[in-house]
Amino acid sequence: MKISVLVNEGPYQHQSADTAIQFTKAVLAKGHEIFRVFFYHDGVNNGTRYAVPPQDDRNITEQWTEMAKEHNLDLVICIAAAQRRGILDENEAKRQGKEGHNMADGFRISGLGQLIEAGIQSDRMVIFGD
């Protein structure tokens, strides 16, 4: 089965981000395909490389990055939601005249068309958060 995941909540404000990670791991462990993970609304905060949780806490961004490397996941952050929250990749930072970018490895910025494509190409779209 081909599944896409939509994450609408930030990594430390709500349980949704943790649940999305655990769900994605379980789907992959069962041999299913993750077509795309799309981060929208506050969910884009999962993709910032500047989050530094305490050493005894989980690092959700790092978990997504590692899973993306291991399973070749497509982690897409909504460009409009990201810009509103100050999350920029290198190209967008240059385009906006900003000095640096803060997108974590393994994530990429794109538009809502990627979310629509994920819904069309997948057998199921599972949504985490409001």
Q: Could you give the CA distance from residue 2 to residue 118 in angstroms, rounded to a whole number?
A: 10
Write down the catalytic residue from 17, 78, 79, 82: 78
The tokens for 8 are 């609408």
What's the chain's Rg over C-alpha atoms?
14
Q: Could you give the CA distance from residue 15 to residue 28 in angstroms, rounded to a whole number?
A: 20
Neighbouring C-beta atoms of residue 3, cutoff 10 Å? 20
78 is catalytic: yes
Residues known to be catalytic: 78
